[in-house]
Amino acid sequence: MDQDGGHRFTLLYRDSWYVAVDKPSGWLVHRTAMAGDRRFVLQELRNQLGRRVYPIHRLDRATSGVLVFALASEPARALGELFEVGRVAKGYIAVVRGHPDAEGVIDHPLREGQRKERKPARTRYRCLATTELAIPVGRYATARYALVEAHPETGRTHQLRKHFDHIAHPIVGDTTYGDGRHNRLFRSHLHSHRLLLMARWLAFRHPYTGETITLKAPIAADFAHPLHRLGWDPSLLS
């Protein structure tokens, strides 16, 4: 909080055209008709910088990590086009139920609305670590989890959450597509109350300077805590 009671985001990058912040879990990027939130990243960042900012992409409310805004409408359009044509590389980390393959590709079309047709959606992933807890869940005597790195090659709504659920390895903490029994285990045994998904890094060729920009978010405390409890070394995510 600043002296005026507003939230101050950690700035990961800023130049004459763009600014990137480390978005905490629990924040909507901007106002929507579906939610009654009173705090939004867009509004709070505008107050923090003392100038208007323009959204380029979005992260789900529960997802944390790298979020980029433009400082004017034309830069927003220029970078937004790179997102649309898949020329922005994105790396996420997540904790999922079960032990997926060491690496894989999830190529599964997704619907972005109730009446819309499915659109192509593709995610590459690799497994960084696995663990097994001696805690019974349902008919199983133990609970198995994995730390994964995921690279969405398309940008569909809830793509990673839907894709990992599709391969029967839902992301822990996901109250929409996840497994409630495992979510409850994390809340009660590991004191983890969030979706364990974060936008770890993002890279693109700057539309104005031509420089390759790589932005990286630190591991938030509420994400690092369950990783420590599961015995995973944070160096896995360097």
Residue 2 domain flag: no
Tokens for 177, please give them: 């597509």
Query: Which residue type occupies 159?
Result: Q
- The count of structural domains within the chain is 2
- pLDDT tens digits for range 147-177: 999 999 999 999 999 999 999 999 999 999 9
Among 60, 165, 174, 179, the active-site one is 60
20-70: per-residue pLDDT in tens?
999 999 999 976 655 556 688 999 999 999 999 999 999 999 999 999 999
Q: Is residue 224 part of a domain?
A: no
Amino acid letter at 180?
A: G
**What is the rounded distance in angstroms from the CA atom of residue 136 to the CA atom of residue 53?**
48
- Is 233 catalytic? The answer is no
Q: Which two tokens stand for residue 50?
A: 């003392």
Same domain, residue pair 98 and 64: no
Is the same domain home to 99 and 19?
no
pLDDT in tens, 118-146: 999 999 999 999 999 999 998 999 999 99
d(CA 41, CA 73): 17
pTM score of the predicted model: 0.92
Structural domain containing residue 28 = 7-85+201-219
